[in-house]
């Protein structure tokens, strides 16, 4: 960002010597004079960068001008001033050491911080004239920071834990908006948003609450959205299911049984027959079964994280050989 004019020398003089009046935007009532305007370059500035407040349509016969922080034109808010004839620059109490004023009235602010945001007022005085006009202001906004989401628990248990998501950073200047599965809230009356929407509360979290979740911050000029996060909801196991549904077999056939239960993390599986342990794993395979394999088969599932266990049972009857029967084991259903 180049400044239009090299600043002249500086000299410390008293406040009373300046006698300056006006403000950031002076709209001159003289019909032949164009309106004074202020252009910020850039209009949105990242923290730590520079911004130039460029003044357009300055009137003729200028004597001096002065910059203030805010809209109040007093000594406390006085940043710096410039006297045309003597090229004198004077620094005021609001000068931070990062402001540079140029002969064309523009003000450069370097290494912008959050404290620099707001209104800037320029007073203008013409030779022999009493300054008249309407005062306006220009508000400078920093580039929005990218928000991020924190949580009291990213691995909650279903129907047991309450999850609180927080949109950071905390500030009074932003509006917060939450997005769940690509939709802006409210998508469910069950989800609570206290604290001006900065918090999102999920009571009795369920497996359907995994997300993704995003938070968005907005100000008067723009918005910025966080990266999505998901919850690893721990649940189950649900009651297991055994397939296939066949219950009658012939001796000599192969027995294949498959057990499944929805669970996160995946459940551990064990098989029993008539209450006695057979083997571990989702699939039970017994080749060349006989009538001694008749009995009550059980599939027991356990989630080692939730500590929950479920079982289901299936009665299998194996008949003695009596000719060729169906052989479901040749085409197991998983």
List the chain pLDDT tens, one digit each, 334 residues: 555 554 544 444 443 333 333 333 333 333 445 788 888 888 777 777 888 988 888 888 888 888 988 888 889 999 999 998 899 999 999 999 999 999 898 999 999 887 887 788 888 877 776 553 334 455 666 678 899 999 999 999 999 999 999 999 988 778 899 999 988 877 566 666 666 788 999 988 999 999 999 999 988 778 899 999 999 999 999 999 999 999 999 999 999 999 999 999 999 999 999 999 999 999 999 999 999 999 999 999 999 999 999 999 999 999 987 654 444 444 343 3
- Cα–Cα distance, 334 to 331 (Å, whole number): 9
Give dist(CA 237, CA 303) in Å, integer.
6
The separation between CA 114 and the C-alpha centre of its own chain, rounded to angstroms, equals 20
The answer to whether residues 160 and 113 belong to one domain is: no
Q: Identify whether residues 107 and 29 lie together within a single domain.
A: yes
- Check whether residue 135 and residue 154 sit in a common domain: no
Alpha carbon distance 215, 231 (integer Å): 14
Domains identified in the chain, total number? 3
Does residue 255 share a domain with residue 168? Answer: no
Q: The domain containing residue 74 runs over which residues?
A: 15-141
Q: Is residue 327 part of a domain?
A: no
Cβ contact 157:237 at 8 Å: no
Tokens coding 334: 């998983």
**Which pair of structure tokens corresponds to residue 235?**
């649940």
Last residue of a domain, one of 109, 141, 173: 141
Q: Is 204 helix (H, G, I), strand (E, B) or coil?
A: coil
Same domain for 291 and 220: no
Joined together, the tokens standing for residue 166 give 């927080």
Domain boundary among 125, 141, 157: 141
| 65 and 166 belong to one structural domain | no
Burial of residue 238, with CB atoms counted within 10 A of its CB: 0-12 exposed, 13-18 middle, 19 or more buried: middle
Assigned domain for 292 exists: yes
81 located within any domain: yes
Which DSSP helix (H) or strand (E) runs through 134? Answer: strand 134-136
Q: What is the CATH number of the domain that holds 57?
A: 2.60.40.10
Which of 196, 225, 254 corresponds to the end of one domain? 225
């Amino acid at each position: 960002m180049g400044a239009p004019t090299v600043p002249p020398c500086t000299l410390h003089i008293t406040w009373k010597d300046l006698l300056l009046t006006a403000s950031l935007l002076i709209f001159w009532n003289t019909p032949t004079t164009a309106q004074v305007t202020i252009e910020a370059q850039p209009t949105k500035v990242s923290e730590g960068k520079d911004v130039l407040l460029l003044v357009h349509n300055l009137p003729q016969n200028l004597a001096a001008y002065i910059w203030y922080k805010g809209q109040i034109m007093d000594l406390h808010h006085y940043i710096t001033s410039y006297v045309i004839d003597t090229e004198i620059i004077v620094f005021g109490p609001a000068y931070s050491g990062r402001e540079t004023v140029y002969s064309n009235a523009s003000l450069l602010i370097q290494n912008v911080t959050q404290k620099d945001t707001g209104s800037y007022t320029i007073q203008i005085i013409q030779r022999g004239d009493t300054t008249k006009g309407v005062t306006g202001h220009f508000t400078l906004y920093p580039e929005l920071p990218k928000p991020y989401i924190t949580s009291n628990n990213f691995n909650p248990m279903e129907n047991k834990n309450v999850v609180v998501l927080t949109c950071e950073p905390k500030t009074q200047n932003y509006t917060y908006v939450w997005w769940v599965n690509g939709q802006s809230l409210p998508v469910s009356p069950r989800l609570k948003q206290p604290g001006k929407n900065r918090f999102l509360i999920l009571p009795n979290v369920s497996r359907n609450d995994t997300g993704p979740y995003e938070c968005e911050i907005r100000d008067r000029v723009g918005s910025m959205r966080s990266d999505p996060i998901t919850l690893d909801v721990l649940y189950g196991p649900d009651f297991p299911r055994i397939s296939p549904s066949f219950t009658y077999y012939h001796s000599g056939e192969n027995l294949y049984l498959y057990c499944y239960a929805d669970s996160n993390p995946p459940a551990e599986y064990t098989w029993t027959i008539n209450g006695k342990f057979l083997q571990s794993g989702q699939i039970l395979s017994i080749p060349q079964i006989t009538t001694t394999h008749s009995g009550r088969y059980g599939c027991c599932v356990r989630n080692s994280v939730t500590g929950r266990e479920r079982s289901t049972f299936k009665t299998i009857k194996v008949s003695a050989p009596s000719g060729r029967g169906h052989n479901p084991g040749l085409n197991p259903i998983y």
